[in-house]
Amino acid sequence: MVNMTLVNSSSGVLNQMLRSGGIDLNLHSENRDQIFRDLIDKVAYLQKRLDAKETLFKALTEREKLCSTGLGDGVALPHTRNTISGLADYPVVVFGRHHRGIPYGALDGAPVHLLFLLIAPTVSQHLQILARLTRLLRKPDIRQALLRAGSPEEVLDIFDEAEIVLAKP
């Protein structure tokens, strides 16, 4: 289970959630719905729960009908409007990167390259994680570092460094 406070200086909250979710630096699908399926497929505890995977997919597509989760600057944070009962016991973030970018309906109309699927068991955790991610992803240097990252370990290091800076008063 992921603790919502920094556990220690070498592993931040987002790092733990990414380790639980997964990282895919080579997304190839050409549309948003297939990207959702690709990201959902990275969630280990959903692998044998086809019904849960479909429920999550439908919730993500319904959420997009309300307003795009594409934030702009090539970033999207797909998440559900409400938590889904019984889907997650702990918060998970899946990071995916698409080199060419995909049409997503982002607020700025730009293609999306960096995607962060968020699954959380409570509304409180959901909102805390969204706030933490958006705060970090507003920084151009973090976005650029994620676009250049050569390995999942490098992505984890980027978030560790960013969270250490974020935690400083």
Which pLDDT tens digit goes with each residue over 48-86? 888 889 999 999 999 999 999 999 999 999 999 777 767
Q: What is the pLDDT of residue 11?
A: 56
- Assigned fold of 15-167: Mannitol-specific EII; Chain A (3.40.930)
Q: Which of 107, 119, 96 has the alpha carbon at shortest distance from 68?
A: 107
Could you tell me the CA-to-CA distances from 96 to 7, 52, 83 in Å, in that order? Answer: 24, 20, 21
Residue 98 backbone dihedrals phi, psi, to 5 degrees: -115, 115
Asked whether 76 and 69 are in contact (CB, 8 A), the reply is: yes
* DSSP states of 82-150: S--TTT-SS-EEEEEEEEEEE----TT-PPEEEEEEEE-SSHHHHHHHHHHHHHHHT-HHHHHHHHH--
Structure tokens at 30: 């050409």
Per the prediction, the chain carries an average pLDDT of 88
13-52 pLDDT tens trace: 888 899 888 999 999 999 999 999 999 999 988 888 888 8
> Which residue among 28, 79, 113, 126 is the active-site one?
79
Could you tell me the CA-to-CA distances from 149 to 24, 25, 65, 87 in Å, in that order? Answer: 11, 8, 31, 30
Asked whether 159 and 136 are in contact (CB, 8 A), the reply is: yes
pTM surpassing 0.75? yes
> What residues does each domain of the chain span?
15-167
> Could you confirm whether 79 is annotated as catalytic?
yes
The total of other beta-carbon atoms located within 10 Å of residue 44's CB is 11
Q: Which of 60, 34, 51 has the alpha carbon at shortest distance from 87?
A: 51
